[in-house]
Amino acid sequence: MEKDQIIEGYRNVATDLVIWLTTDHPDVARHILGHLEEAHQTELERPESGIRQGRLVLSEHLMRVLKAGV
């Protein structure tokens, strides 16, 4: 499985989870968004790597979906 396929799979699962949270548990979604924003900032300060890039792509996607839902 290629790296792009793995990232896309994580995005799909994460999107489903975020939709469920923002629909059924908006307070929890807002709380998670705050932690996710902090984690994203921390990740930006780390040295460049493939894992770092994957985390940034996923966290950016999650933040967009969360912000749209809450």
Q: Which residues contact 11 (CB under 8 A, 6 or more apart)?
A: 58, 61
Whether the predicted model's global pTM rises above the 0.75 cut? no
CB 15 within 8 A of CB 63: no
List per-residue pLDDT tens for the chain, 70 residues long.
Answer: 687 888 788 888 888 988 898 899 999 989 999 999 999 999 999 998 888 888 888 888 888 888 887 6
Distance CA 68, CA 22 (A): 9
Question: Residue 53: its pLDDT value, please?
Answer: 86
